[in-house]
Amino acid sequence: MIRAAGVHRAFGGVSVLRGVDLAVSSGELVTLSGPSGSGKTALLSLLCGFDFPDSGSVLPGLASWSACAVLPQSLGLASELTLEENVALPLRLAGRDVAGVRELLAELGIAGLGARYPGQVSFGQQQRAALARAVVTGPSALLADEPTAHLDATSAEAAVGLLRRVADEGAAVLIATHHDAVHAVADRVLVLADGQVR
Ligand SMILES: Nc1ncnc2c1ncn2[C@@H]1O[C@H](COP(=O)(O)OP(=O)(O)OP(=O)(O)O)[C@@H](O)[C@H]1O
């Protein structure tokens, strides 16, 4: 489950989040919209434990970090690993079989790029690899920041289908997005405005 209760966060004296409450249950896909600068990324950072609220509480936060997958806007792919190695990394760290990696790359239309390094593919192709890496372990919570921002319609459709399936398989999924195609598959659409979720 993903949860925020009474969350406040200010940066340099400017209050960005002012009493945010939200809850995403297992099996639910919820999208978070709101104007640029409204605090979507700041909220996701608190929920996954990258940052800490000034007051209020969050889940999963740092305590159950291993069960929570994050797809940050900056992607965070390791530049010295190929796309396939990047996607396999969470499985290797967990001591698990990496057999499903190529299938996941194929589902996202980047099967032929697995041997390339992030610097040798487009940003949209990197974004799909980062999405594959986020979901490859079957996390119980997934936080994704603008996962379709750099994708064409066909690639976005594959990404959205995968995100929906991750939720249908039991994960709690929260996605910050401006894209209607993502909102279209959501169980609920939340709006962050004036520091609060509506
Ligand atoms: N670490 C930080 N230090 C200072 N200010 C910050 C920090 N993180 C976020 N902010 C500020 O908080 C506000 C919200 O930023 P955030 O990135 O969360 O917006 P967003 O809704 O994700 O925007 P976008 O849709 O453009 O990605 C912005 O005004 C930003 O400048």
So what's the ipTM on this one? 0.95
Q: Which two tokens stand for residue 122?
A: 């487009």
Whether 112 lines ligand 1, by a CB cut-off of 6 Å, is no
Whether 41 lines ligand 1, by a CB cut-off of 6 Å, is yes
**Facing residues of 3 across strands?**
23, 59
pLDDT tens sequence across 138-192:
999 999 999 999 899 999 999 999 999 999 999 999 999 999 999 999 999 999 9
Find the 1 Cα to ligand 1 centroid distance in Å: 24
CA-based angle 76:82:87, to the nearest 5? 60
Give the domains, in start order, of the chain with CATH numbers. Answer: 2-197 (3.40.50.300)
CA-45 nearest atom, ligand 1: 18
d(C-alpha 160, C-alpha 156), whole Å: 6
- What does pTM read for this prediction? 0.95
pLDDT tens sequence across 102-139:
999 999 999 999 999 999 999 999 999 999 999 999 99
Dihedral angle computed from the Cα positions of residues 136, 137, 139 and 143, in that order, rounded to the nearest 10 degrees: -40
Instruction: Write the CA distances from 20 to 58, 71, 102, 185, integer angstroms.
Output: 10, 21, 39, 23
